[in-house]
Structure 1
């Protein structure tokens, strides 16, 4: 069935809460998008429950609040659900307390790993590791970080160890602003996976993906809002739309990075051109 074109007004009439992607929906690399501030003001005026559900693993909710405030957007920390917040639970569940971990990302990315008991390792040639967490393209020179992580993983496997590989942010690209796109954590992981598949055929050395399109962030967002029939608004088919559908949540594809085409493998519930009410 083809997705139905809709408006934000219709979505609010049909659903009891909004789950919003961040990059490409309310912000891009250059700042807040034009419709974001009026949207939040109207949602607050109406008392509509909403949460930002983002694959961003580079910022804590508190850091995110400060960043949004700098763009003129006021959002409470409890409304922000980040993929980075899933890292502490991952490290605990995998028994990775004390694990020597390469972290590609920001200071907040390091804090997420340490909150789960991981011990960040220096990004230096020859480092020995037990885990790799790819959180963001920021914080480390892009190619240098990928090469150091790849080399450390290969050393570990050659020595008979299988390091834990975790990717809280599976996004491949993000909107930088002005019509430009940038590679982010998911693309970094794919490069490493391709190299590992060539070096160790059949070993299935792949990253555990925590954020969208896995359903965990959607479940947490709906739980915080007490929503029974929420709708997700996102701009990427492979993460926002696929993840919402996996969580059995209706989803509107917002005009942005992805374009829905008939015959594709992922079909959103709705198509949304504007966030204005």
Structure 2
């Protein structure tokens, strides 16, 4: 197993499951921090700000600052700003996506005549929010979704994810959105830019094949599948393009690296 110069890490199912720590996750981050190996948490969660994501990680014992976090909200806002500065946006979502849009100088409007419609995870979703989003898309607004995750793991089980919410607008309008988060390259390009290392020196670590592992594959980055979340070892190894590596948990990676160091 190659020892990389930089690490891109998923959160749900890789670092934690709801409020439960994943075995080996904290130890792995401690190992990276101790060895001064740069890492970024790359999350499709657009409802939280980097500060909120980092605060949760810190409270769980992880070594983290907001600078360690890349969200699909950040990547979405940067994508829109690059296309049209000061664009008007109707947004479905939480504080994370709204703050990211405002930080990029974009104008949030609660109306159906806007340049863009952005759908992010919104636990307070209503019919009226959907109605405005659909009308805006029909009026010509560019339709963007922060990420395609159809479900999210929680302590209660798998709940509807942003992809499920997005599908309502997509089905109603017949318009396919531009997805920004994993497995798309938009969020990965932002992560690569922030970590400041060549792709060949990076590895993407995650549990879910269709988002985490495919994000690395789509971006030309090596992948490490952890068998601690959704996708099983048997399933990922049957894919047309399997991950570069698969491990039971991240303790295996530490053991390998430390053994390699002592050789």
8 Å contact kept, 1:91–1:97: no
Kept after mapping to 2: 8 A contact 1:153/1:163: no
| Mapped pair 1:258 → 2:231 | yes
1:81-96 mapped onto 2 (5 Å cutoff): 81-95=70-84
Query: Which is bigger in relative contact order (C-alpha 8 A, separation at least 6)?
Result: 1
* Matching residue of 1:248: 220
For residues 90-109 of structure 1, the aligned pairs below 5 Å read: 90-95=79-84, 97=86, 99-101=88-90, 103-109=91-97
Name the CA distance, whole Å, in 2 between partners of 1:51 and 1:90: 19
1:18/1:187 Cα in 2 relative to 1: closer, same or farther (>3 Å)?
same
Structure 1 residues 96, 167: closer, same or farther in 2, change over 3 A? farther
| 1:188 and 2:174 aligned | no
TM-score w.r.t. length of structure 1: 0.79
Look up the match of 1:274: 249
The aligned residue for residue 155 of structure 1 is: 135
| Structure 2 residue matching 1:78: 3-state secondary structure | helix
Gaps of 5+ in 2: 255-263
Deviation at 1:207, TM superposition (A): 1.3
Q: Deviations over 1:84-115 (max 9, x none)?
A: 112332332332635251x2221222112223
Question: Counterpart of 1:200?
Answer: none
| Root mean square deviation, CA, Å | 2.4
What are the equivalent positions in structure 2 for 1:1-277 lying under 5 Å apart? 10=1, 13-95=2-84, 97=86, 99-101=88-90, 103-122=91-110, 127-130=111-114, 131-138=116-123, 140-141=124-125, 144=126, 147-156=127-136, 161-177=139-155, 180-197=157-174, 205-228=175-198, 229-255=201-227, 256-259=229-232, 260-261=235-236, 263-276=238-251, 277=254
CA–CA distance in structure 2, aligned partners of residues 175 and 121 of structure 1? 31
With normalisation by structure 2, the TM-score equals 0.82
Cα distance in 1, alignment partners of residues 134 and 45 from structure 2? 27
Specify whether residues 153 and 56 from structure 1 end up closer, same or farther in structure 2 by C-alpha distance, changes over 3 A only: closer
Provide the C-alpha distance between the structure 2 equivalents of 1:72 and 1:190, rounded to a whole number of angstroms. 36
Q: How many residues align?
A: 246
- 1:115–1:37 Cα change, 3 Å: same
User: Aligned partners of 1:156 and 1:177: how far apart in 2?
Assistant: 35
Bigger fraction of residues in helix: 2
Task: Mark the CA change 1:58 to 1:71 in structure 2 (over 3 Å): closer, same or farther.
Answer: same
Unaligned runs of 5+ in 1: 1-9, 198-204
